Amino acid sequence: MTSAETLSAPATDIAREAARRRTFAVISHPDAGKSTLTEALALHAAAIEEAGAVHGKAGRKGVASDWMEMERSRGISITSSVLRFEFDDVLLNLLDTPGHADFSEDTYRVLAAVDAAIMLLDSAKGLEAQTLKLFDVCRHRGIPVITFVNKWDRPGREPLELLDEVEQRIGLRPAPLNWPVGVAGDFRGLIDRASGRFTRYTRTPGGARRAEAEVVDASRAAAEEGSAWTAAVEELALLDEIGADLDLSLFHAGSCTPVLFGAALPNFGVRELLATVRDLAPPPAPRPDGSGESRPVTAPFAGQVFKVQAGMDRAHRDRLAFIRVCSGRFERGMSLVHQRTGRPLATKYAQTVFGRDRSTLDVAYPGDVIGLPNTVGLTVGDTLYVKTPVVFPPIPPFAPELFAVARAKDNGRAKQFRRGIEQLDGEGVVQVLRSDVRGDQAPVLAAVGALQFEVVAHRMAEEFGAAIDLTRLDYTTARITDAESAGPLGSRSGVEVFTRSLDGSLIAVFTDKWRLNAVRREFPDLTLTPMLAAEEAS
């Protein structure tokens, strides 16, 4: 099948629908304004009538993407969420991600399900540590990146300095699509580089609604903006002189980034960003399967689980598996095959998701995200398909660095305790490690960051009615081992061997890397396989 003319009618329909999808994530360092931008994008696409704000900002309602009580009370994104909406006949699947490094594993899973990313920079801080790590994941996965310089309504750095930092530190050639008039903190408006059009913005009360935009001709702008206009025009001339123009092939190859300026909280420049995603972000493309072969988007249905989440619906307390459609047409009610078990999976209650809100989903195409409730046995990375068997590469868990024993505060709540731990394990909130020595009443929770333990404690108490005590252990390093190596390892001090509940893998944990190296010298033939570390995700 080399052209639309040679496709069958259903395949032609699939190709057409896939072409109008854009599935993308927003990545940033904490406090760069990611959840605010996510809300602003939905507002400008008319998916919501009024934009919310994260905790403590402008007294507005909470953002749709931060739906957990703990997220709203603390003003941080703890879990990823999905927002689906249309903009100019393009269907956008926006996957909001946690910004905090402690939840980088959740972000890594989301990046396995998208075709593009918006990299959000704080105008005053530029590239920050977590942004750099997440960009490295995008580079590794070949995800094109659009850069949005946020908070231009506040004091910040020079725009040319920020562009230079992007190029020097991460090797992306920046190609500004618009340019600010006025320095950061004295935002007068934006000049579109392609058309030369100058747009001014007027903030609405609290920034809860779309900012009013006024297009001003160049002569009037020069007269009214004075030196700010002159400086912007000179900087644009410099950009033209050095050839800072967008090369679409380099953008799709991941070596060039379109750059836009604006301010998400008052909704300045957000519509321009949305139009850029519509026009430049790539639609779903063939995805490599486990054998390295690319599966066409027009092949029979296949999808991959990239997230499992419970507690979204307090009335039902169900568990929702999020599946990225990789190929084919999904129809509610069709029977899928769970590749790992070979068992059939019903889809009668398939849903689409907007934050925590859900509605019935009848049809889905490549790029879309399907929510399947109460699908027992589905875990992150699983492949689902019809007709043609396929398996997509797994999404591996990160190597944990923090460990804590969990015990129920009330032994009379043992049943709720076990159910809660199993649920959070299945979602990937933490890894649950068990051993005969410690017993099921004292599982060890393994995490990348300390905030994961706080989420576990909060959810165990609030959702499952089983408050817990957490006792931190001194282990810091984990390796995958095997049954033959488990005996010698378990006999050494500073080492303990567990079974990971999620997949049955044997995990050896060590007090530190020096202890690990000492054991390796003593037993050079033991199996000690490194796990995927957060910094190695790239």
**Residue list for the binding site:** 96-100
User: Rounded to whole angstroms, what are the CA distances from 85 to 212, 271, 357?
Assistant: 22, 14, 13
DSSP reduced 3-state for 483: helix
**Can you tell me which residue has the tokens 């990348």?**
448
DSSP reduced 3-state for 280: helix
Q: How far apart are CA 233 and CA 230, in angstroms?
A: 5
Cα–Cα–Cα angle for 309, 310, 312, nearest 5°?
100
Strand partners, 344: 337
Annotated binding-site ranges for GTP: 96-100
**Can you tell me which residue has the tokens 């957060």?**
534
Q: How far apart are CA 273 and CA 135, in angstroms?
A: 19
User: Rounded to whole angstroms, what are the CA distances from 409 to 17, 147, 413, 443, 461?
Assistant: 52, 47, 8, 14, 10
Backbone conformation region of residue 213, classed left if phi is above 0, alpha if psi is from -120 to 50, else beta? beta
**Can you tell me which residue has the tokens 């890894």?**
431
**Residues contacting residue 240 through CB under 8 Å, at least 6 positions apart:** none
**Can you tell me which residue has the tokens 């190929």?**
327
DSSP assignment of 224-248 equals: HHTHHHHHHHHHHHHHHHHT----H
Contact criterion met (CB below 8 Å) for 176 and 163 = yes
Among the residues of 127-217, which ranges form H helices? 129-141, 159-170
Q: Identity (one letter) of the amino acid at 348?
A: K
User: Rounded to whole angstroms, what are the CA distances from 432 to 268, 397, 449, 512, 531?
Assistant: 44, 12, 15, 20, 15
Contact criterion met (CB below 8 Å) for 372 and 378 = yes
